[in-house]
Structure 1
Amino acid sequence: MSLTLRYGELSHHKDIEKLGEILDQCFISFAGRGESYIHRMGVERCRIIRTGEEIIGGLAIIPLGQWWGNNCVEMGGIAVVGIAPAYRGQGAARVLMQESVKEMYARGMGISVLFPATQYFYRQIGYGEAGIVCQWEIKSSQIPLLPQILPFERVAVDELDLFTKLYSQQTRLYNGYVQRDRFLWGEKIRTEEDTVYAYVIGGREQPQGYIIYTQYSSGGENILRIRDWVLLNQDAITSFWAFLAKMRSQITKVRWSDAGITAIAYGLPEQHQQLHDAAKWMMRIVNVVKALEKRGYPPGLTAELHLQLKDDLIAENNGNFLLQINHGQAKVEKGGNGDLELDIRTLAPIYTGLFAPVQLQFIGQLTGSGNAISTATQIFAGTVPTISDYF
């Protein structure tokens, strides 16, 4: 039996309760806290799908930005996509996501990012693999006793002005960092379940980074879990490890999040860090013109890339596009020769730099001339894509 489905916003308190109940069933970690999550994240960001008057699922669109090539691109973060168990497999999730993408396009967002429970479904909506975020760990006994060059000063966890200024400098160093809003900052410093500690590296007068962390016991081990970090230079990195090495009498392991290649550990004499967990994240190019024009490119680069794109959902993203870059500044217009042919999903890992165009050509995800593939490789070169937040 096909459902008559209607997409919309939350409007009444009973609707919030109902969506909270659905999220509790969909996400075990919520453990009855689905409604409180909705309020914390923002009711106005929630979207729901109904059949008749009954709410059967929902999600959140979090208006954010993401840094690419030293530029911030407007991004819609998709979170908590959930459908009530009795209505799964009947097309509700597909309609919910399709309408969300259309809304993001109408709101002028260039890209969208999510953490998928299943890739197959989101690929059908036009999302492609964009990067990997890893949780790394190292035994405290394996951290060398390095000289602590910079002082550490403990600060209150709610000193967001201090953290934001330092974080904004780091966003320009790594492709994929999120331009956080008040909700994501709040998640970094939440103290309801854990005691959270924060230190500024270098002191307040000359801050060169910070560390925000919690401590807990698991399986007979004492874990120091870093929730957030900023390290702006080599002295800050060395001091970071020196600070953590001093924890070895009480802490068994240190865990932190970073890309699939964790650069901050590269300077250690031995690479003892181990992969504890990993999650792939996906991107959708919502608006081709805005996504390509707002992104940053290698300074001094001058090039042209002729694209031929297919998008089954957003009609405006179909056809030929000419990406012109003049000394790192981009302009996109309709037309061109269409030398590089691909669908909207395949553009995502090229945009982020997760895969080189030649790799995608090899597995049959795009076609193009040698010159077009070489040009695309130059244009989208950059640091390993990472992401600073989970949502």
Structure 2
Amino acid sequence: MTELRVVDVVEEQLDSVWEVRIRSFGPGGDRDHWLKIARASLEDGRLLGVVDGDELVAAARIWPFEQWWGGRRVPMGGVAGVVVAPEYRGRGVGSLLMRAVLRRCADKQYPLTALYPATTVLYRHLGYEFAGHRYKFSFQAADLRRLGGKGTAVRKAGRADADLFLKLAGKAHEARRSSGPLIWPRTEVESWLEDENNFAYVADDGFVVYNWSDGDLAVDELMAGSEETARALWATVGSGASIAKTVQAYCPPFDPIHLLAEHEANGDTQINRWMLRLVDAPAAIATRGFPDGVVLEADLRIDDPELTANTGDWHLSVADGSGRLTPTDPSSEALRLGPRGLAALYAGTPTAALRGAGLITGGAADADSGLDAVFGGPTPYMLDYF
């Protein structure tokens, strides 16, 4: 190695990024689709690389997401496509790259960053921790077909319905106080809706997007604001039961379909775990939703070696569904935690589990129950892989 440097990837380096990607993930994938996404990422500095001299040896991309937390939208940098050439692994290249990614997320004012890890060692070392899951359940198609909902009007959807889909999803996530689901850029939603391989239907208060997958039907997303709409949309998918015996569905473990379907989901549920990190702790608290009627005053001591703006003594105040994190004087009763503990707490991991893992220490004697109350709630989940 000569001198390793972090750079903003330019158009001329995309072939090199693709080559490292193939060597990292194996052959396959739609290169034209990847290039479309990569070029869009070049325009505003969301594709970073590491070069050794003139040779590109690693790269990572940042998605400009928003994410629901407690029923409110929080800007989030979704880290994807982290690749390091095989001959450079184990030499600190990944850490160099990801530290640059964290700084770029801070520059772009993302309070949060999240990713699906290929390995936990690197990301935990840099302050990420598990925050939630992506669930894939299997249902009997015939069960869904019998759900009814015939009194609800359902029509085929297309590209022009992208804004409507985002509006309906937002309304549902606010009502459910969801934590974890992504808010994709409208251009991506338009792309899904004009893809001939996807089938999209919409009702007054809900929608569904699904497709064929290895002889089964696969639901990418189904949102419904009422029981009748849920029944109608699931029955629309289940209408393919004469061909597809099984419907694979991405949905949370508390989705109403688990209560509506006559038979429980098959036992082969697939779960992917994703990790979270707070980039700007005060902004992450200020933009997150909290339960109404819960009040908390607590002192925190955060030690963040990678993003030092988070380090310090803070006072956490939660009331009326909102929170604030403000600088304060040191306190002997402050809860001490690093970025991993902070991320896990933010995602609702019980304080007892965090103490058992040594991710939080200290704190006032009665603080744990209050922290569990303000950060707890429905299980965080994602519907999408990025």
Moved over 6 A (4+): none
Q: Please list, as runs of the form range in 1=range in 2, the aligned pairs for 1:359-370 lying within 5 A after superposition.
A: 359-368=353-362, 369-370=364-365
- Retained in 2: the 8 A contact 1:38–1:46? no
Q: Is the CA contact (8 Å cut-off) linking 1:110 and 1:287 kept in structure 2?
A: yes
Question: Offset of 1:269 from its aligned partner?
Answer: 3.5
Per-residue CA deviation, residues 307-337 of structure 1 (Å, 9 max, x unaligned), is: 1112120111112211112322222111252
Q: Please, which of 137, 153, 156 is the counterpart of residue 154 of structure 1?
A: 156
- Residues in 1 aligned to 2:335 and 2:256: alpha-carbon distance in whole angstroms: 32
Counterpart of 1:179 (choices 175, 183, 193) is 183
Which of 200, 203, 209 aligns to 2:202? It is: 200
Which amino acid counterpart does residue 19 of structure 1 have in structure 2? V
In 1, the alpha carbon distance for the partners of 2:190 and 2:56 equals: 28
Question: By how many angstroms is 1:389 displaced?
Answer: 2.2
Matching residue of 2:141: 140
Query: Which one-letter code corresponds to 1:364 in the other structure?
Result: G
Unaligned regions of 5+ residues in structure 1, if any?
A: 202-206
Q: Which position in structure 1 is the counterpart of 2:85? A: 84
Q: Distance in 2 between matches of 1:386 and 1:83?
A: 28
Partner of 1:279: 272
**Paired position in structure 1 for 2:8:** 9
The alpha-carbon distance between structure 1 residues 35 and 314, as it changes in their structure 2 partners (threshold 3 A), is farther
What is the root-mean-square deviation in Å for CA atoms of aligned residues? 2.2
1:304 aligns with 2:316: no
Tell whether the 8 Å contact from 2:163 to 2:186 is kept in structure 1 after alignment: no
CA distance 1:58–1:108, shift in 2 (3 Å): same
SS at match of 1:116: coil
Of residues 336, 340, 351, the one that matches 1:341 is 336
User: TM-score normalised to the size of structure 2?
Assistant: 0.90
Does 2:227 align with 1:241?
A: no
Instruction: Report how far residue 108 of structure 1 moved.
Output: 1.6
Using the TM superposition, give the Cα deviation of residue 263 of structure 1 relative to its aligned residue in structure 2, in angstroms: 4.1
Q: How many residues align?
A: 376
Question: What is residue 204 of structure 1 aligned with on the other side?
Answer: none
Contact 2:145 2:237 (8 Å CA) reproduced: no
Match status 1:107 vs 2:91? no
- Relative distance call for 1:162 and 1:237 in structure 2 (3 A) is same
Decide which of 33, 37, 61 is 2:34's aligned counterpart: 37
Aligned residue for 2:309, secondary structure, equals: helix
Give CA deviations for 1:24-57 in whole Å, capped at 9, x if unaligned: 22223644x4464132352332111111121111
- Residue identity matched to 1:175: S
SS at match of 2:260: coil
Q: What's the counterpart of residue 212 of structure 1?
A: 209
SS of the equivalent of 1:117 reads coil
- In structure 2, distance between residues paired with 1:152 and 1:29: 40
Match of 2:22 among 21, 24, 43: 24
Identity of aligned residues (%): 24
Is 2:224 the counterpart of 1:231?
Answer: yes
Is the Cα–Cα contact under 8 Å of residues 159 and 191 in structure 2 kept in the other structure? Answer: no
**After the TM superposition, which of the residue ranges 263-272 and 80-89 deviates more from structure 2?**
263-272
Distance 1:85 1:231 in 2: 45
Q: Distance in 2 between matches of 1:187 and 1:25?
A: 28
Verify the 8 A CA contact 1:24 1:34 in the aligned structure 2: no
Mapped contact 1:21–1:35 kept (Cα < 8 A): no
| Aligned-partner Cα distance in 1 for 2:301–2:230 | 44
Q: Please give the alpha-carbon distance, in whole angstroms, between the structure 1 residues aligned to 2:242 and 2:225.
A: 28
* Distance change >3 Å, CA 169–CA 299, structure 1 → 2: same
Shift of the 3–305 alpha-carbon distance from structure 1 to 2, 3 Å rule, reads farther
Q: 1:285·1:347 contact (CA, 8 Å) conserved in 2?
A: yes
Structure 2 residue runs of 5 or longer lacking an equivalent are none
Moved more, 172-181 or 128-137: 172-181
Amino acid in structure 2 at the alignment position of 1:380: F
Q: CA deviation at 1:157?
A: 4.9
Aligned pair in 2 of structure 1 residues 135, 378: CA closer, same or farther (>3 Å)?
same
Q: CA distance change for structure 1 residues 77 and 388 in 2, over 3 Å: closer, same or farther? A: same
Report the alpha carbon displacement of residue 132 of structure 1 after superposing the two structures with TM.
0.8
Q: 1:260 to 1:95 in 2, by over 3 A?
A: farther
CA distances 1:8-28 after superposition (whole Å, capped 9, x unpaired): 2122x3211111221222223
Query: Matched residues in 2 for 1:239 and 1:282: separation?
Result: 34
- Report Cα offsets for 1:63-112 as digits up to 9, x if no partner: 22111122211111101000112211111111000111012112221110
TM-score, normalisation: structure 1: 0.89
| Displacement of 1:122 | 0.7
